[in-house]
Structure 1
Amino acid sequence: MSGERFDPIEFLERAVPIASNEDVGEMRDRLVETLESRGVETVVDDAGNTLAAKGAADPESHLVLNTHIDTVSPHVAYEREDGIIRGRGACDAKGPLAALLAAFFAVEPAPDARVTLAVTPDEELRSTGAAALDVAGDCYIVGEPTGLDVCTAAKGRFEGTVTLSGVAAHAAEPDSGANAIDALAPVLGAIRSFDDDRDDHPDLGAATLTPTMVEGGENSNQVPAACRLVVDRRSVPPETADGFREALESTLRESVPDGVGVAFALTERPTPFLEAFATDTTHELVTTLAQASRDAGGRGDVRTFTAATEASYFSPAPVVVFGPGELADDDGAVAHADREYVTTTAVRTAADALETTVTALVGASTVD
């Protein structure tokens, strides 16, 4: 079997029926089996990442191919009809994985080059695999459904809670306390104007800061001593999670009335937030993959990616997001939806484009 050319559609037909929304074990076993059946030494690290590499141990050029094997819940059953594969993971991201595997198997690295396949186990949850990934590449291709476009940038997503602290009192004597809920008015004003003096990113546009949940008060006849407001931040480079936290807390402290305390804390999580990233659109990685996509029959547009992705963990090294399938089409949501699908033509086109790109960047020759 190791001498046969890898068929990404055959792999995808076996992968999509495997539920990997609650436990990726069976899907990871299938991936390892696929790699090792073709003579590729494969390692599953302590974080559950599946790692395989070809080429020089100390390379001058190192390209990393990355995607994930987990899916969101619930699992959606596999169906195949008229060149369309349906089911959970069809486009997010087993279709991209199939295309990446085709390129990985087809390319023989140059003597001074290396290509690594790094597949993470929980991108849809906490990204503990990507956070622990110990692979230092010179550039990265991350497999996600992009409609065969090359995505060079994406906004980050942070989340945190504003806590307002006042003094409880009887509602009949409101001036004897400090009303934490009443302090929401200037806080919301400060949130609305937070980015007024900040420049838009040339590719990603403006950052956004959105209040999403609020909670406060203990009794209907009592001046509330506490109020909590959750905010959602969609960041643009060069803002970091820590930089955002410090800037917002400083701004809010200037907005609240005397007698009310204010604090802002990012939501606790076991891994770093997915921060914004942007790769130079003139970089060889971008131009090569975009041309390869067009030559293979894809759109090959260069644009931003609209969803959060583990690509941010690999920045500031050059990183792009690319793959078959769409997050949404003219009829609505595709990825994460009950109608998730990918076309076999798109998967084969992605595989051809990736093979051409990997060969151009790190390859010596293409295996027949």
Structure 2
Amino acid sequence: MDDARTLLTDLVSTPSVSGGESEAARILVEAFERAGREVWIDEVGNVRAPADDSVLLTSHIDTVPGEVPVREEDGFLWGRGSVDATGPLAAMAVAAVETGVSFVGVVEEETTSRGARHLVETRDAPDAVVNGEPSGWAGIVLGYRGYHAGSYRVEVPSAHTAVDDQNAIERAMDWWDRVEAAVGDETARDATAFERATAKPVGIEGGVTEDGLATEALVDAQFRLPPGTTGTDVESTVDAVTESGAVAWDEPIPPVMRSPRNAVARALRAGIRAADGEPTHLRKTGTSDMNLFAEAWDVPMATYGPGDSSLDHAPDERLELAEFDRSVAVLTHATAALAE
């Protein structure tokens, strides 16, 4: 394939916010075509390059919004997506070409996971999966919390603001206080962040309705689910403290935790040691497409990729180029072993 760093820089330099991945997808397609690989863009925008299905290397093409000027400085490549997850994506593409295994770049991981959902619905399970997200070149991610989102809406007939009765905005604020306390009480306070359910408001709107006859409020909320917790569990907890109004729920993503003894983790550890690193096992408090792959496919898997995940979505997002090079070497070593 083309020089790995060139592919990385081209992808980071190409805006690919969720829903707008087409230009970055084209760059990936052209790179695989130049390497003589079969490749196409599927119905939802995923880049598919099928080959030896003993391993599927996959990462997401999209990024969150936010402009981080692209530049190379002091051995780092700055730019939106350099860490999450264009660095891992480029490393996966290079290793897939080097070893002749299957590759998919998926869309909309940062929003709906549309690409991963479509993928598991439209192809058979591979023998193993390496999902691309920043873990640090010597880290291996084995677990992620799950995710559930809902929108609470309440409407209350209008009244003078001097009246003591709560308007819709006040009811929404009280609802959130009850939800946050109830979800927090579901798990022990001394548990780690990975082991706790958490709730976070991500948007709120409210005011007088257009016809002037009521006040209304809308709260968008996200919930993170530790292993052993389901979306139904969270819905039941929230419903129990919802006294007025109603919550509309999205489709949940379940938590995942894989054994460090699975074949992918073993291969990645060997690759890290071959590059003179000391492997570490990680559990992430966020959520990734690995959650969906693990739900659909009962095969060995883990998440791996270059980058400091504390820089995910950050205004100073940047990737050390030497770390990127090492991650390509680790992935190539591990994938070759899995493909034997």
Letter in 1 for 2:291: S
TM-score by length of 1: 0.75
> Which residues in structure 2 correspond to 1:193-208 (within 5 Å)?
193-198=182-187, 204-208=194-198
Cα offsets for 1:71-90 (capped at 9, x unmatched): 23334343224432222232
Q: If each structure's helix is expressed as a fraction of its own residues, which one has the higher value?
A: 2
Distance 1:236 1:306, change over 3 A: closer
CA distance in 2, matches of 1:215, 1:25: 32
Following the alignment from structure 1 to structure 2, what is the Cα–Cα distance between the partners of residues 335 and 186? 31
**Any idea what SS the aligned residue of 2:294 has?**
coil
1:188 to 177, 182, 185: 177
- The 1-side partners of 2:152 and 2:80 are apart by 36
Mapped pair 1:122 → 2:108: yes
Find the residue that maps to 1:116 and give its secondary structure: strand
Q: Is the 1:84–1:343 contact (alpha carbons within 8 Å) kept by the matching residues of 2?
A: yes
Instruction: Tell me if the contact between 2:183 and 2:197 (Cα under 8 Å) persists in the aligned partners.
Output: no
SS of the residue corresponding to residue 96 of structure 2 reads: helix
- Among 5, 10, 25, the alignment partner of 1:28 is 25
TM-score, normalised to structure 2's length?
A: 0.81
In the other structure, the counterpart of 1:235 is: 225
Deviations 1:198-232 (A, max 9, x none): 4698882211134566666759xxxx886655433
Report matched runs for 1:116-265 at 5 Å.
Answer: 116-133=102-119, 134-135=122-123, 136-148=125-137, 149-163=139-153, 181=170, 185=174, 188-189=177-178, 191-198=180-187, 204-210=194-200, 218=208, 228-249=218-239, 251-252=240-241, 256=243, 261-265=244-248
Amino acid at match of 2:94: A
**Equivalent residue for 1:295, pick from 274, 279, 283:** 274
- SS at 1:74 equivalent: coil
- Per-residue deviation at 1:314? 0.5
Letter in structure 2 aligned against 1:121: V
Report how far residue 23 of structure 1 moved.
3.2
Let me know the Cα RMSD of the aligned residues: 3.4
Structure 2 partner of 1:67: 59
Tell me what 1:321 maps to: 303
Equivalence for 1:286: 265
Partner SS state of residue 50, structure 2: strand
Q: Is the 8 A contact 1:167 1:178 kept in 2?
A: no
Q: What's 2:14 paired with?
A: 18
* Amino acid of the structure 1 residue aligned with 2:77: I
Task: Indicate whether 1:353 and 2:330 are aligned.
Answer: yes
* Mapped pair 1:103 → 2:102: no
Count of aligned positions: 328
Q: Secondary structure at the match of 1:314?
A: helix
Structure 1 residues 179 and 88, CA gap change in structure 2 (3 angstroms): closer
**How far 1:97 moved relative to its partner?**
1.9
Query: Bigger shift: 288-297 or 208-217?
Result: 208-217
SS of 2:129's partner is strand
Partner Cα distance (2:90, 2:277) in 1: 17
Matching residue of 2:78:
86
In 2, the alpha carbon distance for the partners of 1:146 and 1:319 equals 14
Deviation per CA, 1:303-333, whole angstroms, max 9, x where unpaired? 11243322222113343221111122xxxxx
Q: Given that residues 107 and 358 in structure 1 are in contact (C-alpha distance below 8 angstroms), is that contact kept between their aligned partners in structure 2?
A: yes
Q: Aligned partners of 1:55 and 1:213: how far apart in 2? A: 44
Distance 2:253 2:77 in 1: 30
* Structure 1 residue runs without a partner (length 5+): 57-61, 109-114, 329-333
Tell me if the contact between 1:95 and 1:323 (Cα under 8 Å) persists in the aligned partners. yes
Deviations 1:159-178 (A, max 9, x none): 2234456676778886xx89
Given residue 328 of structure 2, which amino acid in structure 1 is its aligned partner?
Answer: A
Residue deviations 1:20-74 (CA, integer Å, cap 9, x gap): 2373232222211111111111121111111112236xxxxx3211112222333
SS in 2 for 1:303: strand
Determine which structure has more spread, i.e. the larger CA radius of gyration: 1
- CA distance, structure 1, for counterparts of residue 66 and residue 112 of structure 2: 17
Q: Give the percent of matched residue pairs that are identical in Structure 1 and Structure 2.
A: 26
**Cα pair distance change 1:283/1:10, threshold 3 Å:** same
CA contact (8 A) 2:91 2:331 kept: yes
Give structure 2 stretches of 5+ with no counterpart.
none
CA distance in 2, matches of 1:52, 1:274: 26
Structure 1 199/286 Cα, relative in aligned 2: closer, same or farther at 3 Å?
Answer: farther
